[in-house]
């Protein structure tokens, strides 16, 4: 039997500055299911880490603890006993998929964590089909376009809910 076609909802949002990026991240945090994998693509300096900091701040994690790690590609944060476990992975320095097991990826992805991955193309074969994809393009020094895609029923519903929130906040 052929697989059901993936359910995809896409939303494009322009962030005029870093504060707008943080706001968008907080809006996503408000609708994000648990567990959820969120991939973040975009050039160096696009704002991937900045976006994850915005999510962290929204759930009570000190954004200063979110770093671009020089060693250890995966960092875990937990704001409170019943808050989401937030996993931040930056695969830029991963030499190859065969190194992934050493990073603790499997443990990090277990349970009901929010897993945010920068440079997901480095681990494409290990990324699940059901995910939220965030693609950031740099339009101008401070202006970014975020393309956010929910792949899978639950993920698509979250992106749909994000869209609803945005239109409610934007009467124009």
Ligand X SMILES: Nc1ncnc2c1ncn2[C@@H]1O[C@H](COP(=O)(O)OP(=O)(O)OP(=O)(O)O)[C@@H](O)[C@H]1O
Considering the complex, state which of residue 10 and residue 18 has its C-beta at the smaller distance from ligand X.
18
Q: State how beta strands 131-138 and 144-151 pair.
A: antiparallel
Q: Which residues contact 126 (CB under 8 A, 6 or more apart)?
A: 97, 100, 105
Segment contacting ligand X by CB under 6 A, of 40-48, 95-103, 106-114, 153-161: 40-48
**What mask, x for binding Mg ion by CB under 5 A, covers residues 16 to 55?**
--------------------------------xx------
Q: At what angle do helices 18-31 and 153-169 cross, to 10 degrees?
A: 130
118 binding ligand X? (CB under 6 A): yes
The DSSP bridge partners found for residue 41 are 135
What is d(CA 160, CA 145) in angstroms, rounded to the nearest whole number?
Answer: 18
Considering the complex, state which of residue 68 and residue 167 has its C-beta at the smaller distance from ligand X.
68
Considering the complex, state which of residue 91 and residue 100 has its C-beta at the smaller distance from ligand X.
91
88 binding ligand X? (CB under 6 A): no
């Amino acid at each position: 039997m052929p697989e059901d076609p993936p359910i995809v909802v896409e939303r494009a949002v322009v962030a005029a500055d870093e504060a707008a990026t943080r706001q968008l991240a907080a809006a996503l945090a408000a609708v994000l299911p648990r567990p959820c994998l969120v991939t973040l693509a975009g050039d160096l300096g696009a704002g991937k880490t900045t976006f994850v900091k915005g999510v962290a701040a929204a759930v009570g994690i000190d954004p200063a603890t979110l770093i671009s790690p020089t060693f250890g590609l995966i960092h875990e944060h937990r704001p409170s006993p019943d808050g989401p476990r937030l996993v931040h992975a930056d695969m830029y320095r991963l030499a190859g998929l065969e190194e992934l097991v050493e990073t603790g990826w499997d443990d990090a992805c277990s349970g009901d964590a929010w897993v945010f991955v920068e440079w997901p193309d480095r681990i494409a074969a290990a990324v699940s089909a059901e995910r939220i994809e965030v693609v950031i393009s740099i339009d101008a020094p401070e202006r970014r376009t975020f393309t956010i895609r929910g792949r899978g029923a639950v993920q698509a519903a979250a992106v749909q809910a994000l869209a609803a929130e945005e239109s409610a906040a934007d009467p124009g």
